[in-house]
Every structure is written in C-alpha cells, then in structure tokens.
C-alpha cells in the first residue's frame, strides 16, 4: 500500500516563510563581511565545488545543522555560539527556510534566510568565492 503524505514540503516551506525573516537578495549583499552577521551555506560540498559560495560564508551541510548548533552535541561548532544574526541560504531558499525555522525553534536568534537562495544571489550579480 502506498504511503499517504499529509504534509508536503512546499507547504512546510510556505509555513516556515511566515515564521522567519526573509532578506531580499540585493539587501543581503550588504551582509558580506558584516561583523554582526554570520552567513551559513547549507548546500552540500558538491554544490559548493560546482558553483562557489558567498564570500566569507560558513559551510554547514543541512544534515549536520541541528548537531552543530546544539552546544551539548559532540559535533557542536563554535560558530553557532556568537551574539550575531544568522543568515541561512541554500540553492533556492527551500532548505534555508526550513533550516532558519529549526534554528529559531532550537533557540538560535536572531535568524533569517536569503530570498531565492544562492541561485538568486548569482543572478543578481552577488560576489562568489570559488571553492577548490
């Protein structure tokens, strides 16, 4: 018997977008090198190698986010223990919407995500750092 999905990912993303701050792409340009913000790239390493990343962004694969945020986790990363605004992004702003909501629910604050993700960033002419 096939599974019946009762909550679709597009609905989850839409709900997340009502609960977290979304930063317009061109406004996010001003956050590169900001001492008050941490840009978090949620894409996997293959995506980073293929397209680069926003300069100065911290790479956190989506599958490790909760473990890296939680200070009680053996995988905790100190980057998530700063008094700054955390701005998440992925390829198209779906993973980042969900991630920003999860981070917010875990107590990380303030959080936001970039509208349209890295794809919109590149299309708008944002700076890109090559990954080797």
Number of structural domains found in the chain? 1
- For residue 92, being part of any structural domain is answered with yes
- For residue 128, being part of any structural domain is answered with no
- For residue 17, being part of any structural domain is answered with yes
Write down the pTM of the prediction: 0.95
CA terminus-to-terminus distance, the chain: 46
Q: What pLDDT, in 10s, does the model give residues 50-70?
A: 999 999 999 999 999 999 999
What pairing do the DSSP bridges indicate for beta strands 21-23 and 58-59?
unpaired
- For residue 78, being part of any structural domain is answered with yes
- For residue 2, being part of any structural domain is answered with no
- For residue 127, being part of any structural domain is answered with no
Q: What is the CATH number of the domain that holds 94?
A: 3.40.250.10
- For residue 131, being part of any structural domain is answered with no
Q: What pLDDT, in 10s, does the model give residues 10-39?
A: 999 999 999 999 999 999 999 999 999 999
DSSP string, 37-78: EEEEE-S-HHHHHHH-B-TTPEE--GGGHHHHH-TTSTT--G
- For residue 3, being part of any structural domain is answered with no
Q: Which domain holds residue 111?
A: 9-122
Cα 12 to Cα 5, 86, 89, 125: the distances in Å are: 12, 20, 16, 29
Burial class (CB in 10 A: 0-12, 13-18, 19+), 101: buried
């Amino acid at each position: 018997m096939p599974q019946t999905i009762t909550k679709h990912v597009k609905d989850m993303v839409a709900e997340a977008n009502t609960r977290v701050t979304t930063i317009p792409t061109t406004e996010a340009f001003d956050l590169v090198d900001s001492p008050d913000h941490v840009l978090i790239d949620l894409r996997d390493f293959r995506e980073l190698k293929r397209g680069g990343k926003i300069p100065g962004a911290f790479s956190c694969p989506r599958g490790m986010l909760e473990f890296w945020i939680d200070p009680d986790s053996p995988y905790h990363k100190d980057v998530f223990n700063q008094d700054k605004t955390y701005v998440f992004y992925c390829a198209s702003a779906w993973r980042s919407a969900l991630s920003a909501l999860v981070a917010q629910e875990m107590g990380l604050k303030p959080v936001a995500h970039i509208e349209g993700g890295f794809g919109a960033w590149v299309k708008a002419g944002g700076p890109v750092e090559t990954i080797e």
